[in-house]
Structure 1
Amino acid sequence: MIFLKKILFLAHGFTGLYYYRRELMERLIKEGNEVYLAISESEDNKLFEEMGCKIIPTKVDRRGTNPIADLKLILSYIKTLKKLKPDAVLTYTIKANIYGSLACGLTKNKCISNVTGLGTSIANGGLLSKLTMTLYKAGLRKNHHTFFQNQPNYDLFKNAGIINENNSSIIPGSGVNLTYHCAEEYPDENSPIRIVFVSRVMRDKGSFELFDAAKIIKEKYPDVIFDVIGPLEEDVDPEYIKELDEKGIIKYHGSQNDIHPYVKQGWANILPSYHEGIANVLLEGSACARPVLATRVTGCKETYIEGETGIGFNVKDVDDLVRALEQFIEMPYEDKVEMGRKGRKFVEENYDRNIVIEAYYDKIFDR
């Protein structure tokens, strides 16, 4: 028998929670549980409130390294935990994972974390990487459970003594809502080929390699369109993006709450990322029956079958990226369609979001 519970989600802000955890929240609420979200303030949070969630405004500086601000965040979490007394705490994103689990350890709350990826602070190595791993060790060691999205990330934390086999497991990313991201009819053969990039626009996502490759491709295939959807991060000059857009190298659409229309009109989804947990945007593209073009790195290579559902290329390698793009462009139309169909089947069999929801229910309710 499942008893009703008070569930607290800790994360940076609206976007990731809404697009990847919404179905979990909806089920929890539908079954009578109380759902609270300690996240940064946003106009979009009203969508959570309409679902029945209760918002606890919590300032989280996602990229900041100010120790005073981070201490304030821990104290804020502790205050929330003592006041709310939740039955389970679910944490996402690096700061919520680290400081949320630390706070739960101090207040003896049941904490379930999700390491969605290493993030730049760990992936780039150096002193910040060592500090981040030390903080993770202090926080996650007392967790009720920690989910990982790929084997290499799991092995890294296990070998570092941060987690063990009894309090951790691997889940298939965030899963894909196969109803919303339905198989779409492939674009007309006579329409322009559109390559869709959905991501934060930043160096670690391979944005600059994509732009350089797009310049080369446009010389040979001027009708190919590169749609870029996502916010600009600090390491990207807005004027450079504006210049690329004005020259027709890319079509920049900014941030969009609904990416499905862009994926639907696209011929393939591309992500030249340096590292990922599991690249959900690629899985969502495959769910819509669109081929994947992605780097052969952890978090991307798991989202496609080379030559069957997508085409891989080497990380930080513009020449190989151009090669992959040309290979896709030159493929017969029927082969592109078939690659998309196989991608849909691959996601149905391996990445249904209901698998992830059930994994959470097992840990929340100790089933």
Structure 2
Amino acid sequence: MGCHCIDLPVASKGTNPIDDLQTLHALYRHYRDLRPDIVFHYTIKPNIYGSIAAWLARTPSVAVTTGLGYVFIQKSRTANIAKLLYRFAFRFPHEVWFLNRDDETAFRSQNLLAHPERARLLHGEGVDLIEFAFTPLPERREFVFVLIGRLLWDKGIGEYVEAARRLRMHAPEARFQLLGPAGVDNPSAISREEVATWESEGVIEYLGETADVRPYIANADCVVLPSYREGVPRTLMEASAMGRPIVATDVPGCREVVEHGVNGLLCEARNPDALATSLARMLDLTFAQRAAMASNGRKKIAKEFDERVVVQRYQKLIREITGLTF
């Protein structure tokens, strides 16, 4: 695509301040040397240290909060420090973009925005409706659930496995799949050995990693994400665009994509009983009812999450800051 990629030292989930200062210095050095017209930062450490580095280099920047993650899930000293860093760093960006209203409300209510007037709601980063084309539901006896994402406890993987244990005895036609990397650099990571234990137990099928999720979504009857908190999960947008009913938790991010009873089902987070009940309900729906959910999901994504609208937002802001047009 002609993109120039630069390696950056980031201890993505580490808490050593020396490592973070190295990240800050590296970003400042790059911005000073490259003199970009504008910088967009994503995820917690680039948002914090990149915003500071861009200000030091006198480079306009935008912070895009793609999800608040463990900082707002857990109550810990590390989380409190992260909030203090957010409060300091977010005085510098030209704008701060949030992908869902719950995250924006959390920042405002906890006084983490030095300039609240700079906050903007992006409502998700969108999905390519051509690449993720509608695919009819498979008509067959077996029923495939798939959970797609990094294998983290915070994604509700444990609840998914426990729900699968409870259902597989009463619904032998149901299969429970996991797709995504194990053992990632995250405090909430699940090891490959733990996944292997579930495989040997016969509870789940682990599909490994992939660069293209579309065949796995197309092969599924329902996509599941029992996460504790999200930005706006791309997995659910892509699944709904392809016409797959969804079971997800009623948490920030997920509820942006899933309208309960319309294109999927929402259940309580951190509750394997509630998840098992929702999965069983999805199994009990008729094919026509699931097909209606599939159609509703595609319509919702086309109306609210078309990637082209998101790109126009980026272009408009770039034009306002730099004067450049596309």
TM-score in terms of structure 1 length = 0.83
Gaps of 5+ in 2: none
Paired position in structure 2 for 1:167: 118
Are 1:113 and 1:147, in contact at CA under 8 Å, matched by a contact in 2? yes
CA deviation after TM superposition for structure 1 residue 163, in Å: 4.8
Pairing of 1:54-133 with structure 2 (within 5 A): 54-133=4-83
Give the whole-Å Cα distance in 2 for the aligned partners of 1:283 and 1:365.
28
**2:144 aligned partner, one-letter code:** R
Counterpart Cα distance in 1 of 2:131 and 2:205? 25
> In 1, distance between residues paired with 2:271 and 2:4?
46
Q: Give yes or no for contact 2:41–2:64 (8 Å, CA) kept in 1.
A: yes
Distance in 1, Cα, partners of 2:3 & 2:313: 21
Contact 2:141 2:173 in 1 (8 A): no
Amino acid in the other structure paired with 1:304: V
- 2:263 corresponds to: 309
Q: Is the 8 A contact 1:148 1:171 kept in 2?
A: yes
Match runs of 1:44-59 below 5 Å: 51-59=1-9
CA distance in 2, matches of 1:356, 1:298: 20
Q: Which moved more, 1:79-88 or 1:53-62?
A: 53-62
Encode CA deviations 1:238-269: one digit per residue, 9 max, x unaligned: 22211222333111011211111000110111
Q: Within 5 A, what are the aligned runs for 1:1-367?
A: 51-159=1-109, 160-188=111-139, 190-233=140-183, 235-366=189-320
In 1, Cα distance between equivalents of 2:318 and 2:253: 26
Contact 1:158 1:164 in 2 (8 A): no
C-alpha contact 1:122 1:132 (8 A) present in aligned 2: no
Structure 1 residues 306-344: Cα deviation after superposition (integer angstroms, max 9, x where no partner): 111101111111111111011000101111111111100
Q: Is the 8 A contact 2:9 2:22 kept in 1?
A: no
SS in 2 for 1:56: coil
For 1:341 and 1:122, the matched residues in 2 are separated by: 34
Task: Name structure 1 gaps, 5 residues minimum.
Answer: 1-50
Q: What SS is found at the alignment partner of 1:86?
A: coil
Secondary structure in structure 2 of the residue aligned to 1:82: helix
CA distance in 2: counterparts of 1:164 and 1:125, whole angstroms: 25
Greater relative contact order (CA < 8 Å, ≥ 6 in sequence): 2
RMSD (CA atoms): 1.3
Offset of 1:138 from its aligned partner? 1.6
Structure 1 residues 163, 309: CA separation in 2 closer, same or farther (over 3 Å shift)? farther
**Which secondary structure does the structure 1 equivalent of 2:151 belong to?**
coil
Between 1:263-272 and 1:155-164, the stretch displaced more is: 155-164
Q: Identity of aligned pairs, percent?
A: 30
- What SS does the corresponding residue of 1:166 show, helix, strand or coil? helix
Provide the C-alpha distance between the structure 1 equivalents of 2:272 and 2:63, rounded to a whole number of angstroms.
36
Find the aligned partners of 1:248 and 1:269 in 2 and give their Cα distance. Answer: 20
Q: Which amino acid aligns with 2:126?
A: G
1:106 alignment partner AA: L
Q: What is the distance in 1 between the residues matched to 2:217 and 2:235?
A: 10
Question: Which range moved further: 150-159 or 287-296?
Answer: 150-159
**Match in the other structure for 1:21:** none
- 8 Å Cα contact 1:87/1:110 also seen in 2: yes
Aligned AA for 1:266?
A
